[in-house]
Structure 1
Amino acid sequence: MRYLLILLVAFGCNTSKEKFASYGGEISSGDAITTIDFLSKVSEEESTFKVRGVIEEVCQMKGCWMTLRNEEGANIRVTFKDYGFFVPKDISGREVIIEGVAIKEVLDEDVARHYAEDGGKEYDESMRNSISFVAEGVLVKEG
C-alpha cells in the first residue's frame, strides 16, 4: 500500500508539468500575464512583457508572424526578433508564452495590407491599429 501511495504522489507531481516547444531565445514559462492584463498595460512607449495566450493565426507563407486571440478584440501581432526564427504554420489555437518588447502603433497601410494578404484576409482600414510585439522567445504548449 505504501508503494502505491508513493507512486500516486510521484505521478501526481509529474502530471502538473507543462511541456513546451521552444523557438528563438530561451525563456521560462513562469510569471506570464494574460492577454487581458497585457492590453491594460501596453502603451505607445515600448515595454518588455511576458504574455500567455492562444494563437489566433500564423503567417501561412513562412510562419514569420502570428496573432494572439483576446477578449478585447485588439489585434496583437507578434513578430520575431531580427527575423531570426519562425514558428510552425500549423499551431493556430495552441497556447503560447511569448517574451519581448511591445508597443501600440498605427501601421503603414502597405504593411497592414501585407499582413492581411499573408493571413488570407481582405484588408480593412481598422487593421492599421495594432499592438506590435517583437518576441525574443516563444514557447508553444505541446499536446
Structure 2
Amino acid sequence: MRYLILILVAVACSTPTEKFAPYGEEISSEEALSTTAFLTEVSEEETTFKVRGTIEEVCQMKGCWMTLKNEQGANVRVTFKDYGFFVPKDISGREVIIEGVAMQEVLEEDVARHYAEDGGKEYDESMRNSITFVARGVLVKES
C-alpha cells in the first residue's frame, strides 16, 4: 500500500512532457535559445543555432517559410533546408523549436517582394533587412 501511495504522489507531482510534431531532420527540444537571446547573438556570419519562439506567419501558398515573433521587430524568416520539407499553413501563433544556420543579411529586392506577396503584404524597402534562418529540423508544439 505504501508503494502505491508513493507512485501516485510521484505521478501527480511530475511535470507533463511537452508534445511536438516534428518536421525535417530529427532534433531535440533541449537547450534552445529564446528568440530574444538569439537576436543578440546572430551576426553576418553563418552560425548554427537552436531557437524556441512563436510563429508569427506561415507561407499560405505551401508552408515553405515562416517568420518568428519578437519584441525587437526584427524580420526573422525561416526557410527549410534544401526545400526538403514544409510546415502546415495553419500554425501561426504556435510555439516552435527550430535548429539550423542563421545570419543577418540584406535580401535582393525581388526576393523581398516575393516574400511580401506570399505573406499578403505590400512591399516595403525595410523588408530587405532580414535574419535568414535555414532550419534542418522543426518541432511544432501541439496544442
TM range (shorter): over 0.9
Superimposed CA distance per residue, residues 61-105 of structure 1 (whole angstroms, 9 cap, x where no aligned partner)? 000000000011101000000000000000000000000000000
Q: Which runs of 5+ in 1 are unaligned?
A: none
Letter in 2 for 1:106: V
After the TM superposition, which residues 96-107 of structure 1 pair with which residues of structure 2 at under 5 Å, given as runs? 96-107=96-107
Whole-angstrom distance in 2 between the partners of 1:127 and 1:120: 13
Match in the other structure for 2:95: 95
Query: CA offset at residue 4 of structure 1?
Result: 4.4
Match in the other structure for 1:45: 45
After the TM superposition, which residues 1-143 of structure 1 pair with which residues of structure 2 at under 5 Å, given as runs? 2=2, 3-13=4-14, 15-143=15-143
Query: CA offset at residue 9 of structure 1?
Result: 1.6
Query: CA offset at residue 47 of structure 1?
Result: 0.2
- 1:56 is paired with a residue whose SS is strand
Whole-angstrom distance in 2 between the partners of 1:48 and 1:66: 18
Whole-angstrom distance in 2 between the partners of 1:85 and 1:116: 21
Superimposed CA distance per residue, residues 91-124 of structure 1 (whole angstroms, 9 cap, x where no aligned partner)? 0000000000000000000000000000011110
Q: How many residues align?
A: 142
Letter in 2 for 1:18: E
- 2:117 is paired with a residue whose SS is helix
- 1:89 is paired with a residue whose SS is coil
TM-score by length of 2: 0.95
- Identical aligned residues as a percent: 78
Whole-angstrom distance in 1 between the partners of 2:110 and 2:12: 53
Aligned alpha-carbon RMSD (Å) = 1.2
List, as ranges, runs of 4+ consecutive aligned residues in structure 1 with deviation greater than 4 Å: none
